[in-house]
Amino acid sequence: MGSGKLELGIIFVTQTGVGILGNSFLFCLYTFSLVTGHKLRPTDLILNQLVLANSMVLFSKGIPQTMVAFGSQYFLDDAACKLIFYYYRVSTGVSFSTICLLNGYQVIKLNPSICRWMELKIRSPKFIGFCCFLCWILHLLINSCIPVIVNGPSNSKNLSVKTNGYCSWNGVLRFNILYTVIYFSLDFMSLGFLVWASSSMISIPLRHKQQVQHIRNNSRAPRMSHEARATRTIFVLVSPFVTFYSIYAILTVWMNVVANPGQWKVNSTVLLSLCFPALSPFTLMFKDTRVSQFCFVCRARTNCFPNVVTVI
């Protein structure tokens, strides 16, 4: 194995492993809150779905690509390729839709005049649960053509057959253009919605701050509200997502329509696609006060029993 492949494999292992650990921790935290109701927040169900979808992305894309980087080939058969690729496309779409749902929820909460009916609905956990369920159904149906497109690994020299190192798919130009337009049209519309929602979340607090500025000038600055903290968290979460996904989408469209991808292009695209699932849980940990409280409790318990020795 060359040094380049070894370094790339280490990068994939680190990115995938750290991302899975971070998402797993948050999944346990949000699930505990949902089951027990302890310090439950309205967005916990949405965030729980987000970390679950991100974990699925890392499992279905990060692990196979790591094996390819370390030199493994033809380790999946035709059925496994179809399943893994379908699994990846669905989880990526659900992650995207969940970010949109989280943004939409916060915008309506900050400015209920946008939609009075929705402002009443979002207060219901059942409605949020229905929206989360709808995300899964939508992407399960949209990606139903994946088993027809994707095939097992191929070492064919035919330029119409493209491969990512462990699976292959039909590279006919007309078919690729049609599939790319259908698949990414929804994503680009969602990107537009994210940009609009993020802009609204910034402009609404600014307008409110200007309206009450004359009052605050004569009083002590109040603590940041829960809505303001949630808005800042979502904005910090969305900004890198929009950046990484935009670059990933452009590279994917270019590879599918214009050029025959080389392995380095595939690896670069995979690295970009895994950045958000791997890094987003740590953004949520940093912004969620429950994580810091959990760490404080664990540290306090450790300090209470410093001299305890386990005897076997």
Both tokens of 70, joined, read 């370390």
Rounded CA separation 163/170 (Å): 9
Whether 275 maps to a domain, the answer reads: yes
> Who has greater pLDDT, 264 or 10?
10
Specify whether the CB–CB gap between 105 and 111 falls below 8 A. no
Work out how many domains the chain is built from and give that number: 1
Provide the residue range defining the domain that includes 257.
3-152+176-304
Residue 40: per-residue pLDDT: 79
Residue 222: per-residue pLDDT: 46
pLDDT at 74 over 80: no
Residue 77's pLDDT band (cuts 50, 70, 90): confident
3-state secondary structure of 151: strand
Whether 261 maps to a domain, the answer reads: yes
Both tokens of 305, joined, read 């029993």
Whether 14 maps to a domain, the answer reads: yes
Whether 161 maps to a domain, the answer reads: no
Rounded CA separation 258/165 (Å): 19
Find the helix or strand (DSSP H, E) in which 170 lies: strand 168-170
Share of the chain above pLDDT 90, in %: 14
Whether 138 maps to a domain, the answer reads: yes
Whether 95 maps to a domain, the answer reads: yes
pLDDT at 225 over 70: no
Residue 310's pLDDT band (cuts 50, 70, 90): very low
Half-sphere exposure of 105 (CA within 13 A, CB side): 26
Q: Which long-range contacts (CB under 8 A, 24 or more apart) does 1-4 make?
A: 1/70, 1/71
Rounded CA separation 176/153 (Å): 19
Alpha helices in the chain (DSSP H): 3-36, 44-57, 63-69, 78-110, 116-121, 125-142, 146-149, 173-211, 213-216, 226-257, 263-287, 289-304
Whether 167 maps to a domain, the answer reads: no
Q: Burial of 220 by CB count in 10 Å (0-12 exposed, 13-18 middle, 19+ buried)?
A: exposed
Specify whether the CB–CB gap between 261 and 271 falls below 8 A. no
Whether 164 maps to a domain, the answer reads: no
pLDDT in tens, 172-183: 555 666 766 777
Query: CATH number, domain at 138?
Result: 1.20.1070.10
Residue 17: per-residue pLDDT: 93
Residue 173: per-residue pLDDT: 54
